Amino acid sequence: MKANIHPDYHVIKVVMTDGTDFTTRSTYGSDGAVLNLDIDPKTHPAWTGGTQQLMDRGGRLSRFNARFGALGVKK
Residue in 11, 16, 19, 56 with CA at minimum distance from that of residue 37 = 16
- pLDDT at residue number 72: 67
Q: Mean pLDDT of residues grouped by 10 in the chain (75 residues)? A: 86 92 94 90 70 65 80 62
d(CA 32, CA 64): 39
pLDDT at 42: 76
Which pLDDT score, from 0 to 100, does residue 67 have?
A: 84
Is the full-model pTM beyond 0.75? Answer: no
Calpha distance 15→24 (Å, rounded) = 11
Note the pLDDT of residue 13.
96
Radius of gyration of the chain (CA): 19
Domain residue ranges of the chain, discontinuous segments joined by +? 10-67
List the one residue out of 35, 43, 48 whose CA is nearest residue 18.
43
